[in-house]
Amino acid sequence: MIDVAVKILQKNRYRITKQRLSLLQYLSHFQTQYVNITTVDHYMHQQYPGMSHNTIYRNIKEFEEMGIVEQQVRDGNAVVKFQCDFLHQHHHHFICRNCGKVQELKMCPLDYFQDQLPGCEVQDHHFELYGLCAECANLAKSSNK
Q: Average pLDDT by consecutive 10-residue portion of the chain (145 residues)?
A: 91 95 96 94 96 95 93 89 74 83 80 82 80 89 80
- 15/66 same-domain check: yes
**Does 136 appear as a known binding residue?**
yes
For residue 26, give Cα distances in angstroms to 39, 94, 105, 107: 11, 23, 24, 29
- 65/105 same-domain check: no
**Does 45 appear as a known binding residue?**
no
**CATH number of the domain encompassing residue 110:** 3.30.1490.190
Query: What does the pLDDT read at residue 99?
Result: 86
**CATH number of the domain encompassing residue 36:** 1.10.10.10
- Chain centroid to Cα 95, Å, comes to 11
Q: Judge whether 29 lies within some domain.
A: yes
Q: Judge whether 87 lies within some domain.
A: no
**Does 120 appear as a known binding residue?**
no
Query: What does the pLDDT read at residue 95?
Result: 84
- 96/78 same-domain check: no
- 128/102 same-domain check: yes
- 106/130 same-domain check: yes
**Does 133 appear as a known binding residue?**
yes
**Contact between residue 68 and residue 5 where contact means Cβ atoms under 8 Å apart:** yes
- Chain centroid to Cα 28, Å, comes to 10
Q: Judge whether 105 lies within some domain.
A: yes
**Does 96 appear as a known binding residue?**
yes
**Does 84 appear as a known binding residue?**
no
- 75/99 same-domain check: no
Owning domain of residue 68: 2-82
Domain count, the chain: 2
- 44/24 same-domain check: yes
pTM over 0.95: no
Backbone angles phi, psi at 139, to 5 degrees: -65, -40
